[in-house]
Amino acid sequence: MTRPTLAALVLLGCGASSPPAASCSEELRGARAARCVGELAERVVVAAFGVYEDDALSDYVRSVGERVAAASDRPGVDYRFLILDSPDPQAWAVPDRRVFVTRGLLAVLDSEAELAAVLAHEIGHHSAGHLDHLADDLAAQDWGDPVGLTLAHSRDRERQADQLSVLFLHRAGYDVRAVSSMLRALHRSADEAQRGWARRHPPLSVRLARVERAIDRRGGGDLHAERYLRHVDGMIVGVGPRSGDARGENARASVTDEVCTASECPRRLRIRRLVAPASLAELEGCAMNEERALLAMINAAQADVRLAAGSIVKCIGH
């Protein structure tokens, strides 16, 4: 998955008002090292991005993650799933069975099966032991000196996590075609910086070809698109109070839907079903002009392409 380097996260965390501890003990090994590194990594990312506060949505993501984890190669392992308050579509795993997704990622996905595919990929890294060696290495590092700290995986490990995501989705009863549609959604939403990172990983065409060969051997399963869209309906989309650096954390508590000006109110995902054929450009009140690019991206549709009656559209509003 697209993820920042741990170095970048440490730099962001050190810029927070209460930076996390600088390091774990170099004497820690195995499970104790994983626990320390995982806790420290979580403090870093929470200091950098904040947690997206929505209990119902958090419970939903956790339930999907637990369904996938139960179908993994380590079914008895408990995972911690956390939604970060960032508009950038990202997901990544850290030691001690922790998996992070951003609300920006949830905005570009279209079904529960695609969410399960994201979580299956990250659980795949855990299940295959890709993070085990990192805990021992990172425990001995000074996290105040971010040189060399990274959670980027090799191409072989990303390929293995892709294959495991298909397997785990199939076992969990989801539509495995969601793995390829999820990869396309992430590629579509990636900005230039994220695509530069992706160049160190298998190209999308290669990943899709391998995944689709695995998908061909498995079929059926649940998509649960409408259930997913019901859960993300109302979620903050784009730059929110936390991610708007000019206002910062103080604005998070003071700017709410009940007491805010039109310019301050957070923009939210609003799900609509078309009663007649229309293009995104033709839909009134679906987004402001400056949000048209974001609207097209989260809907995977060009602004002038007409959508059929009955189509579900993600709008942006208050």
Question: Based on the domain organization, do 125 and 268 belong to the same domain?
Answer: no
Q: Against a cut of 0.85, is the pTM above it?
A: no
d(CA 311, CA 318): 21
pLDDT score for 20 = 44
Question: Based on the domain organization, do 188 and 235 belong to the same domain?
Answer: no
Q: Along the chain (318 residues), what's the average pLDDT of each consecutive run of 10 residues?
A: 46 36 54 78 88 97 98 92 94 89 96 98 89 60 42 73 94 95 87 51 82 82 96 92 44 46 81 95 89 91 90 93
User: Residue 307 corresponds to which tokens in the numbers above?
Assistant: 């959508």
Among 182, 198, 225, where does a domain finish?
Answer: 225
pLDDT score for 174 = 97
Cross-strand partners of 101? 83, 91
Per DSSP, helices labelled H in the chain are 6-14, 30-49, 55-70, 103-108, 112-127, 132-139, 155-172, 178-189, 192-198, 204-216, 225-232, 248-254, 292-299
User: Is 1 among the domain residues?
Assistant: no
Question: Based on the domain organization, do 301 and 203 belong to the same domain?
Answer: no
Residue type, 55: D
Task: Note whether 257 and 318 are within 8 A (CB).
Answer: yes
Q: What angle do CA 39, 44, 46 make, to 5 degrees?
A: 95
Question: Based on the domain organization, do 147 and 283 belong to the same domain?
Answer: no
Burial class (CB in 10 A: 0-12, 13-18, 19+), 289: exposed
pLDDT score for 230 = 97
Cross-strand partners of 69? none
User: Which residue in the block uniquely carries the two structure tokens 């930076």?
Assistant: 19
User: Which residue in the block uniquely carries the two structure tokens 């999308």?
Assistant: 204
Domain count, the chain: 2
d(CA 316, CA 15): 31
**For 223, how many CA atoms within 13 A lie in the half-sphere containing its CB?**
13
Question: Based on the domain organization, do 119 and 242 belong to the same domain?
Answer: no
Backbone angles phi, psi at 57, to 5 degrees: -70, -40
| Cα–Cα distances in angstroms (integers) from residue 41 to residues 34, 58, 61, 133, 280, in the given order | 10, 19, 20, 15, 40
Question: Based on the domain organization, do 179 and 168 belong to the same domain?
Answer: yes
Cα-only R_g, the chain: 20
Which domain does 203 fall in, by range? 6-225
Question: Based on the domain organization, do 120 and 260 belong to the same domain?
Answer: no
DSSP 94: E
Question: Based on the domain organization, do 207 and 250 belong to the same domain?
Answer: no
Among 194, 225, 256, where does a domain finish?
Answer: 225
Task: Note whether 20 and 13 are within 8 A (CB).
Answer: yes
Question: Based on the domain organization, do 168 and 75 belong to the same domain?
Answer: yes
DSSP 109: -
Question: Based on the domain organization, do 62 and 146 belong to the same domain?
Answer: yes
Among 225, 246, 272, where does a domain finish?
Answer: 225
> Three-state SS for 232?
helix
Question: Based on the domain organization, do 72 and 184 belong to the same domain?
Answer: yes
Of 180, 237, 242, 238, which is closest to residue 205 (Cα–Cα)?
A: 180
pLDDT score for 7 = 40
